Amino acid sequence: MKILTSSLLLSTFPGCKDSKDFKADLEKHKFDPTVINKLTQYDTLRQTILNNYESFPFNDTKTYFTYIYTFDTSTQISGQSNFEISEIIYPKTVQLFERIGKENIFGFTISKDSTLKILIRNTHLRKYFLDVRERLYWYPKTSKINKTEFPSKDTLLGDKWQYQIWYDKRAGF
């Protein structure tokens, strides 16, 4: 089983140094206390989103909606616009994004089952050609929360919030 797991990890990260090289870095990587301290603000955003759940364009084929916010309105992120969200919640959402700060949020994904993923940050590690992804998840049912395994780690924040960090192989060009 260990051989199978190692093979899977190495195939997940082709072109990287041995995954053991960055395993210690992941273990040392701290959950950001600023993110944890802002949990009430993230929860206010969650309430705003869920209170307006019907404004998201879900259907049989579209089971989630992702919103990316551009703090610098003079730049566009690959076709994304700050106005791709319902005007019902746009003003309050923008206000919350600004309060949380661009270092601590850049978007969210709401799923049809009302699971919410808050996109905190992506940080590139040149040493391994990896991105460190940080996300907050809110689950409508605690039974949906799963413990992560390498190359991820997580911590629970209350009953329904999970903070995840994972190392992700950067796509080559």
Three-state secondary-structure class, residue 109: strand
What pLDDT was estimated at residue 154?
94
Position 171 pLDDT exceeds 70: no
Q: Is the pTM of this model over 0.85?
A: no
Q: How far apart are CA 12 and CA 9, in angstroms?
A: 5
Query: Cβ-count burial of 167 within 10 angstroms (0-12 exposed, 13-18 middle, 19+ buried)?
Result: buried
Mean pLDDT on 102-118: 96
Q: Which residue has the higher pLDDT, 67 or 136?
A: 136
Strand order in the sheet with 130-138: 64-68, 107-111, 116-125, 130-138, 161-169, 152-157
Decide if 119 contacts 106 (C-beta within 8 A): yes
Position 40 pLDDT exceeds 50: yes
